[in-house]
Structures are given as structure tokens and as C-alpha cells.
Structure 1
Amino acid sequence: MGDASFWEILVSTIFILLYTITIIGLIVVIIAENRNPLKTIPWVIVLLLAPGVGLLFYFFFGQDNRKQRIISRKTYKRIIKQPRTGKIPHDVCSVPDHYKGLTKLLNRSRTSPLLYGSAIRVFTNGKDKFQALFDDIRRAKQHVHIQYYIFNDDEIGTQLKELLIQKVHEGVEVRVLYDDVGSWKAKNRFFREMEKEGIEVYAFLKVVFPVLTSKVNYRNHRKVVVIDGKIGYMGGMNVADRYVKGVSWGVWRDLHFRIEGKGVQCLQTAFLLDWYVASKQLIMDKRYFPKAEVFSNNIMQVITSGPVGPWRVLTQAEIYLITNARKYVYIQTPYFLPTEGLSQALQVAARSGVDVRIMIPQRSDTRMAHLATRSFLAEMIRAGIKIFFYQAGFLHSKLIVSDDDVACIGSANMDFRSLEHNFEINAFVYQRDFAIGMRKIFMHDIEQCMLITPSIWLKRPLSKRFSESFMRLFSPLL
């Protein structure tokens, strides 16, 4: 008995010692990585207060992959060389002087050229978007490339699957890329049926043990469709019934865009880069990049962002857009968890006389993110920013529009996850008519909103304010 007790104590002591060394080592690594303190502190707190859970969560969600490359520089350059800007006529729409620095920032950071002459059709609901998408797919002659963060096997997902199978039988190439975590509700049989019928299907950064710790936190949040290299779709809508039928408490308000012209070439490039990452198939044929027509006088830049590389390009671009606004900045986002830089940019703009308005949903589909979102509002209101709660349902729209000069549209929310962890795709459109159209949509949605005044916000129960402040500690991890 004495020997048994001795060995039990020895084993327990060694285990506790190794466990303690591991936790302390991780804390040292996190600190040494020179991360933003807003992201470092939550991890240190979790590891100290709940080391077991913290250790597990760190390996799943905490590793910093900024220095990793998921695609070689050579392959990246071969794919992105396809689009050509063409000459922009001098007598048409031009980029406002105070946003020319933004165009340089995007081009230097992500090789995002100025694209002239694209046509953009706007959808504010899923019914219209999917009707137009299905019609365009039915007319496809050569290829259909589809990429979604969420691809559900519900009614709308099944309709899309059957249409894609029909096109394959007609001789059209069909490639489907879905995010393995975002599409977790869809049964594997759903995607196997596509493959069986001849559709090429791949999951982006598939989560399979034991390599899941390096992938589960970095998801592909892009929504891109390219048809025959001539028509493209991008925006905030995934493939699920709720985008058409809404939620139990109302409509699903979103923004999605149909593009023709040069902008489609950048959507194609983004898809083929992600396709290579998932399938290791390098697609370079010029037939996927047909000559683009000129449909309008707008200028746009399509920017992809992600957790790899040294720069947070989308964050920098949004800060630039906000700080260079002269009259107004209107924002729609389902989750508002701004980085410190964005938070300061918004407050500085408002305090300098710019009309800053932020619209978020009154009710959300994610309770923890919603609580953390509300914790940021008091400081915004004190700075003079007008906060609106959308009450007609769930607001999933992602939009920044400024001064009737520029609009930022795409898949990224204004939160840590979109700006630092997810692979996203956004477009900056420099055209007065388009920006005015986006402003009108924002102002129409305000009719379904409640303005949050300081007196309303200060009357909240202390328990609510505390729960919101507590969740804010973990906002960089949500």
C-alpha cells in the first residue's frame, strides 16, 4: 500500500507540474507573439481561471496563423495575373480625391486593380436573389462556380443542388466549394449526391482530427458565384431557407449583388484561389476569363482578406474610409464588435462633425455576440454616433456608405471574426449613383428601426449591463 501511494503521489505531482508548465508556457507564447492586448488578455484570463477548458479552446481557436502560407507565392501570382484593368476613360466617373489613397492601399496590399464599367444589381431579400441566380444558372453554357459559407440541405439548398445536377447533365462544368464548419448542418450524403452526378465538390479547410486544431478557427465566409466568367454574385446571403423565409420574429434583411463586367474577373480569381487551396487543382485556362464588356461608368475594387499575411487589409481600408468621410458614414452590420482602431475612427469621425449612423438588429441569431455588441454602444452614443435597432426581423446586411462617393459591400461583418479570422471578400464601389442607391436603402431601413437615445440606454438593468460587459472581454474570440 505504501509503495502504491508513493507512485500515485509521484504521478499526480508530475502531471500537475507538466500541466502547470504547459499553461505557463502557452501564456508566455501568447504574450511573446505581440498580439493586440485586447486579444491577449482574454486568453490569459481563460487559461488562468479555467486552465483545462482554456487549454482545449486555445488549441482549437487560439493559434496565430498570420505567418503561415496556404498557397505558394508562385501559384498565387499565376492565378491573379488573369484580370486586366483596361484603360479608364478620363471623362467618366473618377475616384474622389480624398479616397484615392484608399485605392492605392487596396492595390498595394492585395493587388486589387481599379475595374471600370461593371454593372451591379442589388438584392435586399433572398427570394429575388435566388430567383435571379437560378435563372442565370439555367442559362449557363460553359461553367458554374459556386462558393458559400453555409450550404444547407433544406428546401432552397435542394433546389440549387438539383439545378446544378441538371446543368452537369447538359455538359456544363460545375464546381462547388463550401465551408466545412459553416455547412455542418448539411448531411454528407447531400454533397456525395452532387459528386455522384458529376459535380466537383470540395470543403474548404476540412476539419478532420488530428489536424483540426490548425483549421477550425479560420473559416471561409465568402459567398461567390461565377457563371461562364461573365456573371458574378457576391454579398451576405448563404444557401439556406431562412434567407428566403425569414426567422420566427420577422424578415431576413440582407444585401447581395449581381455583377457583370470587369468585377466578375476578380470574383473568378478569388474562387479559383480558394479552389486551389481546397482541391490542389490549378485552373488557368483563359476561357474562364472572357473579355468583359463595359456596362456603366463605375469604378470598383474587389478585395479579399483573411487570417494569413501581416496586414489586416480590410480593417485598414474601413478605417481609411471612415476617417476620410466629410459628411456622413452609414453602416449596417449584424454584429458590431469593432477593433480598437475602428472604434476610435468612428468616434473621431462623429466628434469632428461627420454624421455617423450604425444600424444593428434588435434581436440576433447569436446571443453571445449580441451581448458583446451591446457593450460597445454606450461609448458610441457618447461620441455622438446614432445607433439604430432594426425591428422588422434580423438584419444581416453588411454595408458602409460614405458621402455619396463610395460604398463598401460584401461578406464581412464589422467584428473581430470577419476582420481577423475569416476569409472574406468585399468590393469598394466608387460611383455617385451607386452610393446614393445604397444610402436610400439605408434610409428606407431606418423606417423599421428604433433610435437608441442616451436616456433609453442608461435605463437598462444593471444585470444586463454587467452581462454585456462580461461578454465584451471575449469579443475578440467570438
Structure 2
Amino acid sequence: MVIEHWLNIAVVILLVLNTLGAIVTVFRDKTRDITTVWAWMQVLLLFPVFGFAFYFFFGRKLSDKRIFDIRTQRVMGIDRIAKKQKQEMKRLEDNEYREEQTFVRLFLNNEQAIFTNENDVEIFTDGHEKFARLFTDIENATHHINIEYYTIYDDQIGNELVDLLTKKAQEGVRVRVIFDAWGSGGRHNKMYQRLRDAGGQVEAFLMARWQMFSLRVNNHDHRKLVIIDGNIGYIGGFNVGDQYLGRKPKFGHWRDTHLRVEGDAVLAMQSCFFMDWNATTVTEKLQFSEDYFPDTTVAGGVAMQIVSSGPESDAKQIYQGYLHMLAIAQESITIQSPYFIPNQAIMDVLSVAARSGVKVRIMIPGMPDHAFVYRATQYYAHQMVKAGAEVYTYDNGFLHAKTLVIDDKVVSVGSANMDIRSFALNFEVNAFMYSRDVARQMNDIFAEDLKHATKLTRQYFSEQSLWLRFKQMFSRLLAPIL
């Protein structure tokens, strides 16, 4: 009886300390969204002790020093390319871009994202075609190759990329690689050693010397950028790994969207890379020069802004861009995203659009790659069907594209999913394009994808089991931290 008495006291003390610890841990960060705060409170209170271990990996944010370093680099990069923006801003007075001025002002005010209107854009939806084109451009590089990916796996395509970069480094081309250690499944020092030996530089994004203290699921480098000689840029959804070429039976065909860009927009991609490189490396900082920001002359006429966002900024630039696109759409909204876990504002504006006669079409994967995320995506898909939107599952492999098109004239393609993690937690970068030609190409791609898709209906969801619906609703409760 004495032992039982003291065990009861110990349990009570543990629960009290757990509750106090949960309150202090979650509420001390005044920048968190209130829905995220309460989601974490549920986790920490429902799973005493173990919830804190979960929070250690999923809930911690970057230190104030890291955020300051990134903000400093952002300002440095923008200052050096401001004159290019002044030249382009004069063209906004033309009627051709009158409708897009609200976007331009939004991104300029939030991030000073430069507007460029002379870009050539090539769209890729197949990994084999994308990497073939990328490898050709790398082979032809003469001055520098700057690469930034969330995922670079130590597999066949990963090693082919490192081999090619090693060859270029041996030729005297400056090669720099940033990768996210979490997204890449480790540092892969053995794979990169030959590139380092050839003079190439490789950095794990914001990775501390003591790796254990950097193990967080949040605040990772989800960007996918390649800049070659300052005049060719790649941006989109493809990472580097065999699965992105359909070589993994689990996923089958990998359906993604990526852009190859030539023109002044590449300078903005370069600035983003410089910011991330200088905030990450402790050795050689990059200096802004004409070698990295050359004058470009391209016949293409695609107007665009390269918009980056991350936890170092409270503006949530890409999220605000998405929200603005959805809010002003008058005819159509077309979304493709592997993870559809929007916040309430996005849900509200999509629901209003659908009920107002705007044609809202959303395509999500027909298979999961993360269980909770997939069930939450199903929950929100159901809500959109009830609101009158057309929702489809892509059945020909895994859909990983992150695209948004409105009214056949404004397009966003990049790394940011339609979910809370991309809105506020990870480092993302998207191309916002103001081009009817690009919008037409994207709509044609969506039409082709519909041939391999299933339309979800009210009946489809009503026939789901109670257990499946419970899993969807439970996953939805964790949406702010997924």
C-alpha cells in the first residue's frame, strides 16, 4: 500500500510538471499561429514525456541567431540587384501588365522580389527529360554551378550527378552544393568526397557541428534550385533520387513539375542561393559580382517573380501569394499538390470561390507517402467536394507537382505544397508567372493528367468506413504540425 501511495504521488507530480512544461514550451514562442499552439498542447498533454521527445524533432524552431544570419544575407542580396528592378518597374506602366501589378507590389513589399518580363520557360513533367536537360546544361557550364536541393540521395542518379559535378570541378568550374541532411537521409560524406577532393564545395543546410542538435523536422531547406553560369536556372518540385525517375516500385511513375528558365529571373534564383549559402557556410562567403549576375538577353516574353519564403520572415510570402491568387480568381482555379492541408483562410477562400461559380479543380495523389499527411489530405479533399469543387486523385503513380493556375493567366510552380508546413515552417521558393502561354501549357498538362485520374464524389466519401473517417478526422487535428 505504501508503494502504491508513493507511485500515485509520483504520477500526479509527473502530470503536473508535464502540464507546466507543455504550457511554457508552447506558449513561450509568441510568433506561432494559435492553431499550431493548441495542436502542440494536445500532443504534449495526451502523451506525457513522450510528447516532448516528439516536440524535440517536430516542434523546435531555428534559433534567433540563425534567423538573423539569414535575414542579413537576404538584405545583402537584394541591395545588389535593386538597380535591375528599377529598370523593370518602368514597364509595369504598360497595359500588358496592369492586371498583375497587385502581385508585383505584394511581392516587392513582402520580399523585394524583382519583377522580370524577358524570360524563356521550358516545362518538365518527367524526371528522365528533366535530368537529361539538366545534365546537358551542367556539362556546358564554364564558370559556376550552384545547386540546392532538399533531397540528394546516395543512389544511382545521385552519384551520376556527383560524378558530373566532380568532372566539371576538375575542369576549373566553381561547383557548390547545398542539401538538406534530413531530406537527403544523411550527410553522405563518402559520396561527396570525390567532389570535395576535386575542389567542389558541399554544405548541409544550417547543420550544426553537433548533428543531434540539428535533428528537427521543421525549418528545413525544401527548395530545389540550380543556377548555371548565372543565365540558366532550374526551379520546381523534382529532387535528386531514383524515385524521381520512377525507379522505386512503391511509387511507380513519378509525376512532378519543374521549370528551366533563361532570363533575368535567374538572377533572383542566384540571390536566393547566395542567401542560403552564406547563412550556411562557415568558410568561404560568396560576394556579389558580375560573374554571378551577368547581363542577360533572352527572346522569351514570360513575366515572372521568384518568391522565396521561410521561418526567418513573418510575411509568409508564398502563402500570401497563394491566398491572393485564390482570392482574385474569377473564372478558374487549378491546383496540384501532393499534400493538401490548407489553413482555414485558404479553405474559406476556396469554398467561397467554388460556391460563387469559379471552377475549382484540385488534384492530389491516389497513394500515400506519409500516413497522417495522406489522411489529413483526404479530410480536406472531402470538405472541398462538399463545397462544390472538383477533386481528383492521380492514379498513374505518385503526384508530387506543386502548381497553381488561375483564370488562364497567372501561374505558380515551385517547391511549396498547399499545406501549413510549406506556408510557415520550411524554406521554399516558387516562380510566379504572368503569362497566358504558360497558363495554357499548364492547363494542357492538367487535362492530360485527368486521363489518369479518378474524380472523388460525395458517394465515394459516404461509402468509406467509420474507421477510415476517424483516421482522417484525427489526422486533421494534427494538421497544424504535420
Shorter chain as denominator, the TM-score bin is over 0.9
* Corresponding position of 1:44: 41
* Corresponding position of 1:24: 20
How far apart in 2 are the matches of 1:170 and 1:214? 36
Q: Deviations over 1:385-412 (max 9, x none)?
A: 1100101110011100011110001111
How far apart in 1 are the matches of 2:453 and 2:197? 47
Q: Report which stretch shifted further, 188-197 or 284-293.
A: 188-197
Identity %: 36
* Corresponding position of 1:181: 182
Q: Report which stretch shifted further, 254-263 or 99-108.
A: 99-108
How far apart in 1 are the matches of 2:156 and 2:144? 24
Question: Is 1:283 aligned with 2:279?
Answer: no
SS at match of 2:145: strand
1:81-230 equivalences under 5 Å are 81-83=79-81, 84-85=84-85, 86-87=87-88, 89=91, 94-97=96-99, 99-184=100-185, 187-206=188-207, 209=210, 212=213, 215-230=216-231
Give how far 1:216 is off. 4.5
Question: Is 1:257 aligned with 2:253?
Answer: no
- Of 332, 336, 341, 2:340 maps to 336
In structure 2, runs of 5+ residues without a counterpart are none
Q: Report which stretch shifted further, 240-249 or 259-268.
A: 240-249
CA distance change for structure 1 residues 213 and 90 in 2, over 3 Å: closer, same or farther?
closer
SS at match of 2:368: coil
Could you list the runs of 4 or more consecutive aligned residues of structure 1 that deviate by over 6 angstroms after TM superposition? 12-16, 90-93
Is the 2:22–2:45 Cα contact (8 Å) retained in structure 1?
Answer: no
How far apart in 2 are the matches of 1:427 and 1:434? 12
How far apart in 2 are the matches of 1:457 and 1:32? 40
* Corresponding position of 1:369: 373
Q: Report which stretch shifted further, 184-193 or 154-163.
A: 184-193
Aligned-residue Cα RMSD (Å) equals 2.5
Give the TM-score taking structure 2 as reference length.
0.91
Give the TM-score taking structure 1 as reference length.
0.92
CA distance change for structure 1 residues 30 and 247 in 2, over 3 Å: closer, same or farther?
same
* Corresponding position of 2:76: 78
Give how far 1:29 is off. 4.8
Q: Report which stretch shifted further, 40-49 or 227-236.
A: 40-49
- One-letter amino acid matched to 2:272: A
Give how far 1:271 is off. 0.5
* Corresponding position of 1:61: 58
- One-letter amino acid matched to 1:469: M
Q: Deviations over 1:303-342 (max 9, x none)?
A: 0000122222211111110010010000000111111111
Question: Is 1:451 aligned with 2:455?
Answer: yes
Is the 1:195–1:201 Cα contact (8 Å) retained in structure 2?
Answer: yes
CA distance change for structure 1 residues 175 and 64 in 2, over 3 Å: closer, same or farther?
closer
In structure 1, runs of 5+ residues without a counterpart are none
How far apart in 1 are the matches of 2:112 and 2:122? 25
The number of aligned residues is: 471
How far apart in 2 are the matches of 1:468 and 1:142? 51
Q: Deviations over 1:353-394 (max 9, x none)?
A: 100000001112222211111111222111111100101110
SS at match of 2:177: strand
Give how far 1:59 is off. 2.8
- One-letter amino acid matched to 1:24: L
* Corresponding position of 2:310: 306
* Corresponding position of 2:427: 423
How far apart in 1 are the matches of 2:125 and 2:64? 38
CA distance change for structure 1 residues 66 and 413 in 2, over 3 Å: closer, same or farther?
farther
Give how far 1:141 is off. 0.5
Q: Deviations over 1:155-186 (max 9, x none)?
A: 11111111111101111110011001111156
Q: Deviations over 1:179-199 (max 9, x none)?
A: 011111563311233212221
Give how far 1:210 is off. 7.3
How far apart in 2 are the matches of 1:319 and 1:461? 33
* Corresponding position of 1:463: 467
SS at match of 2:333: strand
How far apart in 1 are the matches of 2:389 and 2:437? 25
Q: Deviations over 1:394-448 (max 9, x none)?
A: 0011100011110001111111111111100001100111111111111111111
Give how far 1:73 is off. 4.9
